[in-house]
Amino acid sequence: MRGIYYEERGPRNGAPLIFSSGLGGSGNYWRPNIEQSAQYVDFQEEHRVILYDHRGTGRSDRILPPVVSVEEMADDMLAVMDATGVQKANLVGHAAGAAAALSIAIHRPERVQTLTLVNGWSFADPHFLRCFDARLALLRDSGPRAYVRAQPLFLYPPDWISDNAARLASEDDDHLAHFAGVEAYEKRIAALAAFDVDARLSDVSVPTLVLAAADDMLVPPKCSRHLATHIRGAQHRVMPWGGHACNVTDPATFNRLVLDFLRS
């Protein structure tokens, strides 16, 4: 498909499962959840997994319009579905990806089999806006390397950062090599700050799992509680530990919770 990089894993006849990542936008974010492991079941054993890089990030087209919206992010996810011949899919979105998936569930519910919102929100919260402002200031004033070095502080619990210091250091160069740039982050953050579908949550009619980490320091867990309260029939699950990127820090628990929901 022109402009958007995507790849598929798992059996072609499996139930389609699309993962949409957060601000960084890379499909590689979900590697801990689809890699073979003796400790836990990965998603591609049971599903046709589709990963993609958001427009403006990773291996996708880096050219963005002057103003970016979450609705356009949702349109790109629908375009990936069209390119892969998927009429209806299970959507798993993390943060920005959750916002895009939620937009699809509201505006195009016929394309959604199930909806999983991971550390998501329905309108901008003052705390994560403050975090975004701090990250942008760091990026503008100190440059991409400082931004990449600081990013784990927002994503992971302190003990995990300490225990995985060598891993994080080895990933820095890769993140810098594929860095989206200041302008792309400014546009994507502005889109997330403008996103507000709070008045439409009662319109969500698809089976929904709202999943949060209790120690997420970027998106307050109360945002997920709000989603679960206002989406009819939504299941609410809280991981006691894992941080904003809880699917990376504790893939075994994350996979179990989401797979239990999908199987139900």
Q: pLDDT tens string for the chain (264 positions)? A: 679 999 999 999 999 999 999 999 999 999 999 988 888 999 998 999 999 999 999 999 999 999 999 999 999 999 999 999 999 999 999 999 999 999 999 999 999 999 999 999 999 999 999 999 999 999 999 999 999 999 999 999 999 999 999 999 999 999 999 999 999 999 999 999 999 999 999 999 999 999 999 999 999 999 999 999 999 999 999 999 999 999 999 999 999 999 999 999
Q: In this predicted structure, what is the pLDDT of residue 37?
A: 84
Would residue 1 count as lying in a domain? no
Model's pTM, two decimal places? 0.98
Q: In this predicted structure, what is the pLDDT of residue 140?
A: 96
Q: In this predicted structure, what is the pLDDT of residue 1?
A: 63
Report DSSP letters for 197-252, one per residue. Answer: -GGGGGG--S-EEEEEETT-SSS-HHHHHHHHHHSTT-EEEEESS--TTHHHH-HH
Which residues fall within 8 angstroms of residue 92, CB to CB, at 6 or more apart?
Answer: 17, 18, 19, 20, 101, 116, 118, 258
- In the sheet with 235-239, reading across from the earlier edge strand, the strands are 6-9, 47-52, 15-20, 89-94, 112-118, 208-213, 235-239
Q: In this predicted structure, what is the pLDDT of residue 36?
A: 81
Q: In this predicted structure, what is the pLDDT of residue 39?
A: 87
Would residue 103 count as lying in a domain? yes
Q: In this predicted structure, what is the pLDDT of residue 141?
A: 97
Domain count, the chain: 1
Which CATH number belongs to the domain containing residue 235 in this structure? 3.40.50.1820
In the block, residue with structure tokens 């998501």: 120
Assess contact for 238 and 213: CB atoms under 8 A.
Answer: yes
Would residue 152 count as lying in a domain? yes
The domain containing residue 25 runs over which residues?
Answer: 6-263
Q: In this predicted structure, what is the pLDDT of residue 104?
A: 98
Q: In this predicted structure, what is the pLDDT of residue 38?
A: 82
